[in-house]
Amino acid sequence: MNRIHRLVAAVLVSPILWGLAGGSAFFALVHAGTLGRDFFPRYCAGHPVNYAETYLFFVGLAVLVLRALEVAAERQRLNRIHLGPAPAGTQSPHEAQELLARLERLPQAWQKDSLVRRLRAGLEYVFRRGSSNGLQEQLAHLADADAERAHAGLGLLRLIVWAIPILGFLGTVIGITMAIASLRPTALEESMTEVTAGLGVAFDTTALALALSIVLMFVQHSVDRAGAALLEEVARRAEEELLGRFPEIDLTGPEAAAVRRLAETMIRSLEQLVRRQAELWQQALDEAQSRWATMAAEAGQQLQSALAGALADTMQVRTRQEAEARRFEETLARLAAAIHLLNARLGEPSRSGILSLERARRTGEAA
C-alpha cells in the first residue's frame, strides 16, 4: 500500500500530467468558442505546431505553479519548525541525537522541507564531530547545496523555455515551405490565398512561441525570487537554531595543545610500529625465500644424484647383458663347430662301406 500511495503522490505532483490536463481544458474552451472565435483559434489552434507550443507552455506553467505552491507551503510551516529553547549554557553534542528524534516526529509532509533537512544535517554534523567546530561553514555549504537543488528542480522548465522558440522557428520553416510550394506562376491570383495562408502559419507560430516564452520567463523570475527569499529565511532560522547551542573546542588553549602533543606522540609511535612491523615482515619474507632456495637446491641435488645412480645402474645392467650375449654367441659358435666336426666324422665310414659294397656287387656280376 505504501508503494501505491507513493506512486499516486508522484503522479499527482507531476507537472507533465497537470500541464497536459490544463492544455486539454484550454483547447476544449477554444473549440467550444468560450474564449472567442478569432484570436485564440488562430494563434493557438491554427496548426499542429501551435498545439505543440501551447501544450509545452502549459507543462512549463505547471512546473512553476507547483514550485510556487511548494515555496508557499514551506514558508507557511517555517515558523512551526523549531528545536525548542536551548538550555542555559550549551548542550552536549550527544544531545543532538534527541533533537534528531524530535525532527523525526514531525509530520511526513514536512520531512522534505528545506529547514528540516538543514537542521537534520547540522545536528548529524555536530553529533559526528562531538563539537560545533566548523558548523557555520557546514551550514553555508548546505545552503549552497539547497540552492543548487532548487536550480536543478527547474531543469524541465528551462528545457521547455528553450524548446518553444525552436518550435516557432520550425513553424516558420513549415509555413514558408507551404507558401513556396503553393505558388504557381501561371495562376498567381488563384495561388495568392494559399501563399498568404502559408506565410500566416510561419508568422503565427513564431509570434506564439516568442510570446509564450516571454510569459514563462517572467513567471520563472517571480518564482525564483520567492524561492531565493525562502532559502535566505531557512539559512537564518538554521543559524538561530544551531549556532551557539553546542560548545566549540578551543584549538589554541593549553588543553588543545596537550591533546595535540598527545596525538603527535601517538602518531609517531604508530609510525614506528608500522615501520617495525614492515621490517619484521620483510625479514620473514627474506628468511622464507632463503629457506625455499635452500630446499630447492637440496631437492635438485637429490634428484641429480638419484638420476646419476639410476643411469649408472642402467649402464651396468646393459654392459652385463652385452657380455652375456657375447658369451652366448661364442657358445653357439663352438656348438656349431662341434656339430660340423661330428657330422664329418660320422660321414667317412659310411662312404667306405658303400664303396666296398659296390665293388662286391661288380665282382659278382663279372663272375
Contacts of 169 (CB under 8 A, 6+ apart): 206, 209
Cα torsion 117, 119, 120, 124 to 10°: value is: 140
**Residue with the larger pLDDT of the pair 134 and 217:** 217
The stretch 336-355 carries a mean pLDDT of 67
The stretch 318-326 carries a mean pLDDT of 83
Question: What pLDDT does residue 259 have?
Answer: 64
The stretch 28-42 carries a mean pLDDT of 85
Q: What's the mean pLDDT when you consider all of the chain?
A: 83
**Residue with the larger pLDDT of the pair 53 and 342:** 53
Query: pLDDT of 98-143, one tens digit each?
Result: 888 888 888 888 888 888 999 999 889 888 888 788 888 988 999 9
How far apart are alpha carbons 136 and 75 in whole angstroms?
23
pLDDT classification of 57: cutoffs 50, 70, 90 = very high
Question: What pLDDT does residue 85 have?
Answer: 79
Q: Is the pLDDT of residue 150 over 60?
A: yes
Tell if the pTM clears 0.75, that is, is over it: no
Query: pLDDT of 155-165, one tens digit each?
Result: 999 999 999 99
Percent of the residues in the chain that have a pLDDT greater than 70, as a whole number: 86
Grid coordinates representing 214 are 516571454
Question: What pLDDT does residue 206 have?
Answer: 92
The stretch 203-231 carries a mean pLDDT of 93
Question: What pLDDT does residue 64 have?
Answer: 95
Question: What pLDDT does residue 210 have?
Answer: 94
Q: Comparing C-alpha atoms, which of 203, 204, 205, 202 is closest to residue 168?
A: 205
Question: What pLDDT does residue 294 have?
Answer: 85
Angle at CA 267, nearest 5°, toward 263 and 268?
Answer: 120
How far apart are alpha carbons 268 and 261 in whole angstroms?
10
Output DSSP code: residue 185. Answer: G
The stretch 35-51 carries a mean pLDDT of 85
Question: What pLDDT does residue 253 have?
Answer: 56
Question: What pLDDT does residue 5 have?
Answer: 62
Question: What pLDDT does residue 295 have?
Answer: 86
Query: pLDDT of 234-261, one tens digit each?
Result: 999 988 888 888 877 765 556 656 666 7
Per-domain residue ranges of the chain? 2-242
The stretch 278-301 carries a mean pLDDT of 86
